[in-house]
Structure 1
Amino acid sequence: MDLAASWQCFQYLNIRGRDYTCGDAQLSPLLMFGAQRGLIRFYNVLTLLLMNTHSLLNQSLINELLLEAQASPRLRKNRNFHVGDDAQCHRLANALQVDSYVHPHRHMNEHKAESMLMLAGELGVLIFDEAGQVIAKHHLKAGGEEYGINIEAKTFHAVVALTPCVFFEAKAGPYVPVAANELATWAPKADEAASVEYLAWMRSQFV
């Protein structure tokens, strides 16, 4: 089935979940069970593909993200504008609260440069050498003289929220979690007590 036919089948299944056919497509009970389990995910993806024509970045979105970040254990939250993790171009709004710790890291994939543009608040960006020495630091501020940055692949970096902030981020997909060998060994892990002191030190670079 093509995408339009899949959408029609989804609508049919959503209304008449007990039936196993949709047009010319034959659905076995097993497939039906799988379709029902993935109903919400299937709906979200197809809605983005077939119904959405655009998304706004506005003050309402910023306020929502900051509230969601405040309620998150990691004190950060993102809103994706790409369809899924396999998308070739990832575009997202990322909100950080002041005590959110981002472990210094780098992306070894040569295609994983990332660009950030401030939408609200202030963000400190630290660039490190291989030994963990700061070689550059930038104070980004929405509407300020410096309001964005591009960080090349294989560059150790970290960000620290100087105020509650939101920035737009773009980078190549698909999504791949940061690997253990991409995390800086000279910085504490997020679940270590020393991360609190290290975060305070990173923030002090912008005082």
Structure 2
Amino acid sequence: MPSLVDMKLFTAGMLTGLSEEAARSARLRKNLNVHPVLEDPVQRLFNAMEPGTYARPHRHSRPDGWELMVVVRGAFSVLRFDDHGRVAERVDLRADGGDCAVEIPAGSWHTVVSRLPGTVMFEVKPGPYSPIADKDFAAWAPEEGSADATALVRRLESAQPGDRVVSTGCHS
């Protein structure tokens, strides 16, 4: 039988430190893996995200490519899109009450938008992690680091179902 020493404890101080690292990073986000190796069959991680971070819309195409996102601190929105970049669904999650988790089905175009400083999510998805096969980026969404990406984050913050969030110049 495992002893208490074998348990992993994730403290409030660790999550505060993770949020501080995210705020200092160019990408405005930072993750802390719970799984011990990238080859783990279940990927588990804390993801600290500050307002303004850009997670390029993407999908996980493999049949078991679902993702579970749980708000731990702060607030974020999950947006799901059709194949042309129109918002199909928006879910607002808050740690201080209301909706707290969402599971995204495999093959769904999606992104997250941080709505409060100090936001931390806990994410679970099937592994193993492979940077090449992990996700397909939407051709209609700008690349991370571009001026168009910054503009898209601003549109995503308030986008509602039915809104087209990309201009015709951004999509292929």
**Structure-1-length-normalised TM-score:** 0.71
Deviations 1:8-59 (A, max 9, x none): xxxxxxxxxxxxxxxxxxxxxxxxxxxxxxxxxxxxxxxxxxxx61222332
Partners of 1:134 and 1:125 in 2: how far apart? 10
Partners of 2:99 and 2:72 in 1: how far apart? 12
Partners of 2:84 and 2:94 in 1: how far apart? 28
| CA radius of gyration, larger in | 1
Cα contact 1:77–1:94 (8 A) shared by 2: yes
Partners of 1:139 and 1:196 in 2: how far apart? 20
The residue number in structure 1 matching 2:139 is 185
The residue number in structure 2 matching 1:130 is 83
- CA offset at residue 175 of structure 1? 0.6
Tell me which protein shows more strand as a share of its residues.
2
Find out whether 1:143 has 2:143 as its counterpart: no
The residue number in structure 1 matching 2:14 is 61
Tell me which protein shows more helix as a share of its residues.
1
Q: Show structure 1 runs of 4+ deviating over 3 A.
A: 178-181
Partners of 1:121 and 1:178 in 2: how far apart? 31
The residue number in structure 2 matching 1:112 is 65
CA RMSD of aligned residues (A): 1.9
Higher relative contact order (CA 8 A, sep 6+): 2
The residue number in structure 2 matching 1:43 is none
Structure 2 stretches lacking a partner, 5+ long? 161-172
CA gap of 1:181–1:114, structure 2 versus 1, over 3 A, is: closer
Structure 1 stretches lacking a partner, 5+ long? 1-51
The residue number in structure 1 matching 2:30 is 77
How many positions carry a matched residue from both structures? 156
- Percent of aligned pairs with the same residue? 35
